Chain A
Amino acid sequence: MRLVVDLNKCQGYAQCAFLAPDVFAMHGEESLVYNPHAPEEQRERLARAVAACPVQAITADGLDGTGEQGTGSAQEAHDAR
């Protein structure tokens, strides 16, 4: 899965780093570090992080690729822009 964080939108709420700590990490107080090619086993956590972002700064491709649970939010977050 590929993901992009719009760092102009990101306000450092760190919700993604709580929910998917292997994909997102806070570097210091405000800057976000993330893995743009998240491994498949992170799918569920990534979906939670996308849904929880207060400013919907995270876009993920392929989250709903398998019709699995809790998905679709990434694409829709993208559409909403």
Chain B
Amino acid sequence: MTQASLFRQITDFANRANPYPLYAELRKTPVLHEEEDGPYVISSYWDIEALLHDPRISSDAANLAAAGTDALAQAEETGGLPPSFIRLDPPEHDRLRRIANQGFGPPHRPRRIENMRGELGPIVNGLFDGLADKRQFDLVDEFAYPFPVTVICRLLGVPRDDEPKFRAWVDPLVASLDPDTRENPDADFVKAAQEARMQLGMYLAGLVEERAKEPREDLLSDLVNSEGPDGSMTMMEVLSTAVLLLIAGHETTVNLITNGMLTLLRHPEVLERLRGDPGLSVRIVEELLRYEPPVQIVPQRTCIADIEVRGVTIPKGARIWLMLAAGNRDPERFTDPERFDPDRGDIQHLGFGSGIHSCFGAPLARLETQIALSELARRLENPRLVEDPPPYRPNAVLRGPRHLEIAFDGLR
């Protein structure tokens, strides 16, 4: 029996807890193409960085569907809601992202995220109140999940109490981003993901209609009432954008906070420094985005021309996987890349991607994680891991622990 191909090992759950030795293997063949219909896998920092800025690389769901092997992309193409800007190329991408940004950041709303800083502390305190009588808790279910979900609900204007309802639709959608299910989808699964997207869209439609009549201080109101040189979004575009932001606001920050606390518990000297110096959280979060990024892979891009990378010609129409987390530990780019070191002089990373699709929610994710980690360091007395490594979620793209049990002696 021969060993599974390197490509197959990426999605192999056996590599989930520590994929980094596999990524080191991948970097030995920085442009890897093992299966005829399979993607070209790119693993070195500078190549990934260049391709993220290359207009010949398409994010358009239609191109991915045309590549033929992605049944989910085909389903998304024919599904009810139009693709959101993460699955579009310029100029449609630019127009929708600019309009979405009007409600989120500069130049129109430079202070919306900064002004949420004061609201985040009380949310975190409320979560600690729930731990007061405990000596052990699951960081994922009791902190890292409810915190960003509460924040994204508040930002969008989605009632927090509806969370159990929309979680039932979010979960299959997130599962549909798992490359393993994308490579081997079954018909029921495709249908479930499509159905969930429609249901979530219809739920949000109710809220958006209310905001169209009576705007409030929230992002849904800004999305539906946008105006300016780019015009406004159609109702369907508003819903696609809202679905995107709600899901992205759920799944990625959860893993950044959880990976972060796991890393700090494995580096107790850094955790101890953070306890005395909350300002260190800024550098810790940047280094985490390099060392344990919550989005490990960008698996949904296609070439719209022949592209040469390190002497290999990637043909027009081929799919590309960009191995962000492998690039983040590329010794061509970083000194001592396998070391978690928030003091390194040149913390850069592909943790938020790069180029035109660079993470839209990055400023919010940074703020949430800086606050979450510095408060966990400050409040938990003698925190320690109960199980190392913890159990992981199946997904190789949005990688993170399913649970992270932490024992502690009390709250400060």
Contact = CB atoms under 8 A, between A and B. Distances in A.
A52 interface: yes
A72 B342 CA distance: 11
B358 A44 contact: no
Contacts of B90: none
A48 B281 CA distance: 10
A29 B348 CA distance: 24
- Lowest 8 A-B CB distances belong to which pairs? A69-B279, A70-B279, A18-B363, A76-B345, A17-B106, A80-B346, A21-B110, A26-B106
23 contacts: A14-B105, A18-B114, A21-B110, A25-B106, A25-B110, A26-B106, A27-B107, A45-B114, A47-B279, A48-B282, A51-B282, A51-B283, A52-B366, A54-B348, A54-B352, A55-B348, A56-B346, A56-B348, A69-B280, A70-B277, A70-B283, A76-B346, A80-B345
Interface size class on chain B is: 20 to 34
B248 interface: no
B410 interface: no
A44 B114 CA distance: 13
A interface, over-half SS: mixed
Q: How large is the interface on A (under 10, 10 to 19, 20 to 34, 35 or more residues)?
A: 20 to 34
A55 B107 CA distance: 20
A77 interface: yes
Interface of A: 13-15, 17-19, 21, 24-29, 44-45, 47-48, 51-52, 54-56, 68-73, 76-77, 79-80
Nearest to B351: A54
B98 A70 contact: no
A20 to B, nearest CB: 8
B283 A18 contact: no
Nearest to B355: A11
Contact of B105 (A18, A56, A71, A76): A18
Interface of B: 98, 105-107, 110-111, 113-114, 277-283, 286, 343, 345-348, 352, 354, 358, 362-363, 366
Nearest to B53: A11
Contacts of A72: 343
B341 to A, nearest CB: 12
Interface residue SS majority, chain B: loop
Given A18-B110, A25-B106, A71 B348 contact: no
B331 to A, nearest CB: 16
A61 to B, nearest CB: 16
Contact of B346 (A52, A70, A77): A77
A73 B362 CA distance: 19
A58 to B, nearest CB: 13
A26 B358 CA distance: 17
Given A45-B114, A54-B352, 8 more contacts: A14-B105, A18-B106, A27-B107, A54-B348, A55-B348, A56-B346, A70-B281, A73-B347
A71 B279 contact: yes
A8 B292 CA distance: 30
B277 A69 contact: yes
Contacts of A55: 348
Nearest to A32: B106
A77 B347 CA distance: 9
B278 A51 contact: no
B363 to A, nearest CB: 4
Contacts of B111: 21
A45 to B, nearest CB: 8
A56 B345 CA distance: 11
A17 B346 contact: no
Contacts of B280: 69-70
Contacts of B358: 13, 54
Contact of B106 (A21, A48, A54, A71): A21
